[in-house]
Amino acid sequence: MQRKFIQVAISSKSVICSRLSPQEKALLIQLTHQYYPQLVTVAIGDGANDVQMIRAAQIGVGIAGKEGMYASNNADISIPVFGHLKRIIFVHGRLGHLRNSFICDYSIYKNTVNVFGNLLYQIFTKNTGTVVTESFLVMIFNTFITFFTQFAFGVSEIDCNMDLLMTQPLRLKSMKTIRKPNVGSIARAILEATWSGAAIFFILMYVFQDGVNQSIIQSDIYFFQTQFMICSIYLANMRIMMQVTNFNTSTLIALGLALFATYVGQIVGFFTGAFGEGSVGMLSFFYSMPSQYPFTILTTIVAILPMFLIKTFSQYFSKNNKENNTTELV
């Protein structure tokens, strides 16, 4: 009987259920999950009798009002009036999906670059156990250096006019095909990171193959580690900047803070050996060569060039991006 009821309810445009107890409201959500697990359920309520239903749903929305704060305190999202729900779904829901989807793939990409670089280093050094990533920089790579650009992207990235999303709700439906984290997107991120990590590693290995750089200055494993991490940091920031469509003050500030954090990390390592002896004295040696800056930038460009070309051509030729090409950017 329950299955037949849910089948009839799903096939109907709307269903009105009156005089339900809190347990029965939650049961409707649970039956939907049981027989139609592919559907996403949203429960909206404003009173204490809606709490069980809100908790059972995948997305709970509580309305704070005359009924008190019971529903809002147990919900994922709290709104003052029901009319705000439209903007939450059509604007903030779409933008949240866009931002989170890219950040998932991006996090895999930037870390796989370092992992694959270490893998190649072990192959060419006969599994010595030494890593190719500088110890202190890799320690703050996720928690400090690349945090700022990810935070700015997650807060300020807007790919189209928000008022346009309110008047054209079908854009929300097309969002699932434009960006959706899945096995394919993760595999693509790993493949891109494989190229980037290999490009940085082999360029550095070719330049420093005899332990001497182009300025005839002898370099060691610590110099190699620092150079690899600097290229990896530049690459991670360039990759997320390549995805940004709404450049603003917060984006530029975040990029500046990321570069500033990189130099702070090198300064800390320069004056103390607490995080690894290899970084002691490396700062002055590393930046004493004029060719260091263009070499780092060119190496990073080579590592990211295929992704840039693929993105450019796909935006130009793909029909899936027709929506973005005809949308007024903010």
Mean pLDDT of 10-36: 91
**Where does the pLDDT of residue 285 fall: very low under 50, low under 70, confident under 90, or very high at 90 and above?**
low
* Partners of 65 in the β-ladder: 68
Q: What is the pLDDT of residues 202-256, one digit of tens each?
A: 998 888 776 555 554 556 777 788 889 999 999 999 999 998 888 888 999 999 9
From 91-105, 133-147, 271-285, 302-316, the region with the lowest mean pLDDT: 271-285
Q: What pLDDT is recorded for position 326?
A: 46
Does the domain spanning 2-80 belong to CATH 3.40.50.1000? yes
Residue 119 has pLDDT above 70, yes or no: yes
Residue 304 has pLDDT above 80, yes or no: yes
Across all residues in the chain, what is the average pLDDT?
A: 83
Contacts of 47 by beta carbon, 8 Å cutoff, 6+ apart: 67, 68, 70, 71
Q: What pLDDT is recorded for position 278?
A: 59
Q: In what order do the strands lie in the sheet with 42-45?
A: 42-45, 59-63, 77-79
Give domain limits for the chain: 2-80, 87-325
Q: What is the pLDDT of residues 184-193, one digit of tens each?
A: 889 999 999 9
Q: Where are the alpha helices (DSSP H) in the chain?
A: 2-11, 22-35, 51-56, 70-73, 85-87, 94-124, 135-139, 147-156, 162-167, 170-178, 183-207, 221-243, 249-271, 282-286, 292-317, 322-325
Q: What pLDDT is recorded for position 238?
A: 94
Residue 271 has pLDDT above 80, yes or no: no
Residue 105 has pLDDT above 70, yes or no: yes
* Partners of 60 in the β-ladder: 43
**Where does the pLDDT of residue 33 fall: very low under 50, low under 70, confident under 90, or very high at 90 and above?**
very high
- Of all residues in the chain, the percent with pLDDT exceeding 70 is 83
Euclidean distance between CA atoms 330 and 321, whole angstroms: 17
